[in-house]
């Protein structure tokens, strides 16, 4: 059986900048290893949804792995699962983090979305949150790292509520209300009221906390409230292996990707983290090489380009990309020379290195290399060169169908091995028995 290495360079896509000669950081970067893969393969552009739509990593990865938007449980649920916190299909989970808030004319305003605080200050403040709030609806904050954590809600609760976190300083905190389609849903209205009351209570308790009294005395921003976003709940889904017939592994880091892997049915190996992007990707490729004896598809992920772009420095992102290319060059030959290996390099979304957007909606470059893959005339791996490649524009779940195709696992449409229309060949099926006399039961 053929294998697939999926190298995912998070947030790789970008916009063009005058200081880089009106090129993107990827265009401006020296990337001989990535260019070599592009020259020897088929190229195109990828968007996990609609061009122009800005996606977070979790939504984009759901499409990359061949899942539908309806399967998505919300990022709050994924991080809760990744942190090892029990979450049933009746519970609701939200992202939450500590912020600096103040009151103006009766409204809560975000002074600092991520205020500075020492580890001792955070520990003292978080200890104030270490309890379950409420009776009919029970709410609890679970600390994950630094300012960040998740809220879990149990009882008659609903995930169809709006966020409070605007992700910008000096902005009013958003009111919690039901989504429009759930305006008259009693459970959703009750959830919105309970969460609002909880956040007010937390603000009042933290605002007078001794840590914050001292921070104000020193002229520093208090850490006196929680802001929330991306509510969701666990769902029942068909796992990755049953859906596509491939045993998958993710080599990545962080509670988000651990939770996503658990939820989708992929195995997970925590990739070794490093401040050096070259070392990080090189180490993860070694981990993948060692693991391929047990897996059909391995997702090797690095967050380095995305993190660089969030610094809003295009040249910094260029340097990070060049470091990743050097790391890829150290180990890619063994994958490219394997006739049974399909090598894919792409990204999940674009992250602009300037401006106010967190992520942007431009498609990202995609290259596929392997035995039988058509070779086009693209010479460089970047957002503009890839647009003229043989793959054209690939969107959403089409990525997984292309992977099945190049692994010689694509099933003819219309053939039914089982009651579920499996897209892979040979499919899973029940054996025909001479004892079968009918199927009316």
| pLDDT above 70: residue 440 | no
360 with 242, same domain: the answer is yes
User: What band does 435 get if pLDDT is binned at 50, 70 and 90?
Assistant: confident
In a domain, 194, yes or no: yes
Average pLDDT in the 424-433 region?
A: 88
In a domain, 326, yes or no: yes
pLDDT, mean over the chain: 95
pLDDT tens for residues 165-181? 988 899 999 999 999 99
259 with 397, same domain: the answer is yes
In a domain, 38, yes or no: yes
Question: Residue 313: which CATH number?
Answer: 3.40.720.10
175 with 265, same domain: the answer is no
Q: Which of 216, 232, 248 is the last residue of a domain?
A: 232
Greatest distance between any 2 Cα atoms in the chain: 84
pLDDT tens for residues 291-332? 999 999 999 999 999 999 999 999 999 999 999 999 999 999
SS (H, E, C) the chain: CCEEEEEEECCEECCCEHHHCCECHHHHCCCHHHHHHHHCCEEEEEECCCCCCCCCHHHHHHHHCCCCHHHCCCHHHHHHHHCCCCCCCCCEEEEEEEEEEEEECCEEEEEECCCCCCHHHHHHHHHCCCCCECCCCEEEEEEEECCEEEEEEECCCCCCECCCCCCCCCEECCCCCECHHHCCCHHHHHHHHHHHHHHHHHHHHHHCCHHHHHHHHCCCCCCCEEEEEEEECCCCCCCHHHHHCCCEEEEECCHHHHHHHHHHCCEEEECCCCCCHHHHHHHHHHHHHHHCCCCCEEEEEECHHHHHHCCCCHHHHHHHHHHHHHHHHCCHHHHHCCCCEEEEEECCCECCCCCCCCCECCCEEEEEECCCCCCCCCCCCCCCHHHHCCCEEEECCHHHHHHHHHCCCECCCCCCCCCCCCCECCCCCCCCCCCCCCCCC
pLDDT tens for residues 323-367? 999 999 999 999 999 999 999 999 999 999 999 999 999 999 999
User: What band does 18 get if pLDDT is binned at 50, 70 and 90?
Assistant: very high
| pLDDT above 90: residue 14 | yes
143 with 169, same domain: the answer is yes
52 with 100, same domain: the answer is no
Which residue's structure tokens are 């190049």? 406
User: What band does 71 get if pLDDT is binned at 50, 70 and 90?
Assistant: very high
In a domain, 436, yes or no: no
133 with 184, same domain: the answer is yes
% pLDDT > 70, the chain: 98
| pLDDT above 70: residue 402 | yes
Of 223-237, 244-258, 391-405, 406-420, the least confident? 406-420
- The pLDDT, as a whole number, for residue 438 is 59
| pLDDT above 60: residue 1 | no
How many domains, in total, are found in the chain?
A: 2
| pLDDT above 80: residue 437 | no
223 with 258, same domain: the answer is no
In a domain, 424, yes or no: no
- Angle formed by the axes of helices 277-291 and 314-329, to 10°? 40
pLDDT tens for residues 123-135? 999 999 989 999 8
In a domain, 418, yes or no: no
257 with 401, same domain: the answer is yes
In a domain, 432, yes or no: no
Average pLDDT in the 388-397 region?
A: 98
Of 69-78, 395-404, 428-437, the least confident? 428-437
User: What band does 38 get if pLDDT is binned at 50, 70 and 90?
Assistant: very high
- The pLDDT, as a whole number, for residue 420 is 84
pLDDT tens for residues 102-124? 999 999 999 999 999 999 999 99
185 with 254, same domain: the answer is no
pLDDT tens for residues 232-276? 999 999 999 999 999 999 999 999 999 999 999 999 999 988 999
In a domain, 301, yes or no: yes
Q: Which of 232, 254, 273 is the last residue of a domain?
A: 232
140 with 219, same domain: the answer is yes
List, in sequence order, every residue forming a beta bridge with 360; answer none if it has no partner: 350
Contact between 299 and 346 (Cβ < 8 Å): no
Q: Which of 232, 260, 292 is the last residue of a domain?
A: 232
275 with 306, same domain: the answer is yes
Domain that holds residue 397: 3-69+237-406
HSE value, Cβ hemisphere, 13 Å, CA-based, for 341: 20
284 with 354, same domain: the answer is yes
């Amino acid at each position: 059986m053929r294998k697939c290495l999926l190298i995912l360079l998070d947030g790789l896509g970008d916009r063009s900048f005058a200081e880089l000669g009106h090129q993107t950081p990827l265009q401006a970067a020296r990337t001989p290893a990535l260019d070599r893969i592009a020259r020897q393969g088929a190229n195109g552009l990828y968007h996990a949804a609609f061009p122009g739509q800005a996606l977070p990593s979790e939504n984009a990865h759901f499409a990359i792995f061949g899942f539908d938007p309806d399967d998505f449980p919300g990022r709050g649920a994924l991080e809760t699962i990744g942190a090892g916190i029990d979450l049933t299909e009746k519970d609701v989970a939200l992202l939450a983090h500590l912020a600096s808030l103040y009151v103006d004319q009766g409204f809560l305003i975000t002074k600092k979305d991520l205020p500075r605080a020492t580890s001792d200050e955070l520990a003292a403040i978080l200890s104030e949150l270490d309890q379950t709030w409420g009776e009919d609806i029970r709410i609890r904050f679970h600390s994950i790292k630094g300012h960040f954590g998740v809220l879990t809600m149990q009882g008659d609760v609903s995930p169809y509520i709006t966020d409070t976190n605007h992700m910008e300083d000096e902005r009013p905190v958003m009111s919690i209300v039901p989504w429009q389609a759930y305006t008259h849903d009693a459970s959703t209205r009750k959830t919105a009221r309970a969460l609002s009351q909880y956040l007010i209570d937390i603000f009042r308790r933290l605002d007078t906390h001794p840590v914050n009294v001292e921070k104000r005395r020193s002229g520093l921003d208090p850490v006196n409230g929680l802001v929330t976003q991306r509510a969701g709940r666990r769902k029942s889904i068909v796992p990755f292996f049953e859906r596509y017939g491939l045993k998958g592994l993710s080599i990545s880091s962080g509670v988000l990707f651990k939770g996503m892997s658990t939820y989708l049915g992929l195995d997970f190996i925590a990739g070794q983290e490093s401040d050096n992007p070259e070392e990080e990707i090189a180490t993860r490729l070694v981990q993948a090489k060692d693991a391929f004896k047990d897996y059909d598809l391995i997702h090797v992920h690095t967050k380095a380009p995305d993190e660089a772009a969030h610094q809003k420095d295009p040249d910094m992102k260029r340097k990070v990309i060049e470091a990743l290319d050097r790391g890829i060059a150290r180990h890619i030959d063994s994958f490219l020379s394997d006739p049974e290996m399909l090598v894919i390099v792409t990204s999940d979304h674009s992250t602009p290195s300037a401006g106010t957007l967190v992520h942007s909606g431009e498609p990202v470059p995609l290259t596929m290399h392997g035995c039988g893959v058509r070779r086009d005339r693209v010479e460089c791996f970047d957002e503009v060169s890839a647009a003229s490649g043989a793959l054209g524009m690939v969107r959403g779940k089409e990525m997984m169908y292309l992977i099945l195709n190049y692994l010689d696992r694509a099933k003819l449409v219309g053939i039914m091995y089982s009651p579920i229309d499996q897209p892979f060949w040979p499919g899973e099926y029940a054996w025909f028995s001479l004892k079968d006399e009918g199927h009316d039961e």
